[in-house]
Chain A
Amino acid sequence: ETGVTQTPRHLVMGMTNKKSLKCEQHLGHNAMYWYKQSAKKPLELMFVYNFKEQTENNSVPSRFSPECPNSSHLFLHLHTLQPEDSALYLCASSGTSGPPGEQYFGPGTRLTVT
C-alpha cells in the first residue's frame, strides 16, 4: 500500500464511450502525475500537476482530459479512445520532503479499448 489509490483497477470501454479514471493520494503531496504504460514500452509521462495547476502536458491527444480539483485528487477523463490507447494507466504523487524524484505510484488502471 503506497498511499496512492486508483479506481477502477480494470476498465473495458468501447471507442464511443466516455469514462473517467480516478486517483487519490493520502500522503499530503503537492504534485500528481499521469503515466501510460503500454506493453513492451517504457512508462510515458502524460501530465503533471503541481498544487492543482497543470505544469506539463507531453503532447497528449485531446481525447485524454485531466482534472485536478485539489492536491489530493486527480482524474483522467476519457472519450472516443482508440484501441491503441489500451494500456496500464498509472497515477503517481510526490512531495517536497524526501529524495528529489521520489514518486509514489498507485496500482494502476488496466484499460482495454474495444
Chain B
Amino acid sequence: LAKTTQPISMDSYEGQEVNITCSHNNIATNDYITWYQQFPSQGPRFIIQGYKTKVTNEVASLFIPADRKSSTLSLPRVSLSDTAVYYCLVGSGRLAFGKGNQVVVIP
C-alpha cells in the first residue's frame, strides 16, 4: 500500500478556501487517490476520488499534478461544520487510513 504524508493539523477562517495537501511519492500506476472526511465519533465519509489532473464534485475539488506524487483537496468557502479530520488514501483496492489532517475552521 502506498504511504501518504499529510500535515497533522491546520486552521482556516470561515468563508475561506482551504487547500489540504498530501504527498504520496511511491504511488503505483494502478493507484487512485481517495479523500475521506471524519467528524468526531462518526465514521469517515467519502469525499472525492481521482486518478490524474482535476476532479470536481459538489463538495470539493481534487488537484493531481502530472507526476501524481502529491494531491491537493480544495474545499471552497469553508464553514464551521467543515471542521473535521481529512484523510488522503492511495491504492487500487483495499485502502489504509493514516492519521489524517485535522482541519479546524475558525469563526
Contacts and interface: CB of A to CB of B under 8 A. Distances in A.
Interface stretch (B14-22, B63-71, B75-83, B88-96): B88-96
A99 interface: yes
B34 A102 contact: yes
A12 interface: no
Contacts of A106: 43
Contacts, number: 57
Interface residues of B, number: 20
Given A105-B43, A106-B43, A99 B94 contact: no
Given A100-B92, A101-B95, A102-B34, A107 B100 contact: no
Interface in A16-50: 35, 41-43, 45, 48
A43 B49 contact: no
Interface residues of A, number: 24
Interface of A: 2, 4, 35, 41-43, 45, 48, 56, 88, 90-92, 99-108, 110
B32 A101 contact: yes
